[in-house]
A = this chain, B = another copy of it.
C-alpha cells in the first residue's frame, strides 16, 4: 500500500469540501483540534458537523462560520459551561441560524455503528415517553418481529469525511489507539473518506508487534497526517494531558463575539499551521501537560514459524 503521509493543509484541501458532512470524533480524548483549525483556516462553508459532544472545537468552527448544521447528542464545554457561539446561533440566529439534528449519546453511537456496518437502521432501548422523537422525526419506533416489544431505531450516519486522531499510525494508515476509544473506529468505518491524524508515525513492525491494538486499518484511510500535540487542548493518553486552563478560558472568549473573532485571528487565521500554534503556546506550557511515565506490560503472541519451541511465558503481564 502506498504511503499516505501528507500535511494537514493538503489533507483538508483534498478531502474536505464545502457542504460536506464531517465528523471530527473523540470523546474528550483524541479530538483533532488541528484539523478543525485547518478547516477554519481554509474557510470551508456549509459543513454539517457531526460529534457526540460538540466541544470547544465545534464552538470555534461554528463561530468561524464553517458550519450550517450540527448532528450531536450533548452540547457543552464539558465540566465548564456552554458553547456560546453555538448558543448565539441557535437562540438568536446571530449572526445566522444553525440547524440542529439531535440524538442521545447511545443514539449517536448506534448511528455510527449502523453506518460502519452498512445497516439501514439500528435498534436501541431509548427515547420512550420523551419529546426527542418529536424533535427529531428520524428517531422512529419499530416493533420487534419476535413479540409485542417496540424499540426505537436510528438511521445510519455516513459522514463524507471522518477525521480521527490516534496515538500512532503507519504511513499506510494502520492506526492504534489506547485509552478512551470513543467512536473513532465506528466513525472511520462509517465515513466515505478518512483522515488519520497521529501523534507518532511508526513503522509497520510497531503495529504488527501488537495487532489487537489496531483500531483502524490503512485499507480505509485516505490520508495520514503527523501532528504532535494535534489534539491540544484536548489530550492524547500517554502523550499529554487535557489543557483545562484553555477550556476554562474559552468560556470567557466565546461569550464575546469580538473576543472570539480576535482569538480566531490570533490563533488560527494569523497562523499557517499547527506547528506555529504550538510555538505560540510555548514549550513550557506543552511540557507542563506531559504525564509522568507509566507503561503497559507486554503480552506474548508467540512465534509460530515452526521454529524450535521457546520458553513458556512465565508472566504474561511482565514488562
Contacts and interface: CB of A to CB of B under 8 A. Distances in A.
Interface stretch (A18-26, A87-95, A113-121, A253-261): A113-121
A133 B167 CA distance: 45
A308 B167 CA distance: 22
Given A144-B120, A145-B153, A316-B206, A178 B292 contact: no
A115 B293 CA distance: 40
Nearest to A296: B210
How many copies of the shown chain assemble into the complex? 2
Nearest to A317: B206
Contacts of A297: 206, 209-210, 298
A287 interface: yes
Interface residues of A, number: 70
A239 B299 CA distance: 10
Given A210-B296, A291-B309, A155 B151 contact: no
A302 B291 CA distance: 5
Interface in A280-319: 287-305, 307-313, 315-317, 319
Given A291-B302, A299-B167, A317-B210, A146 B118 contact: no
Given A119-B123, A151-B120, A292 B319 contact: no
A146 B157 CA distance: 13
A290 B122 CA distance: 44
Contacts of A176: 299, 316
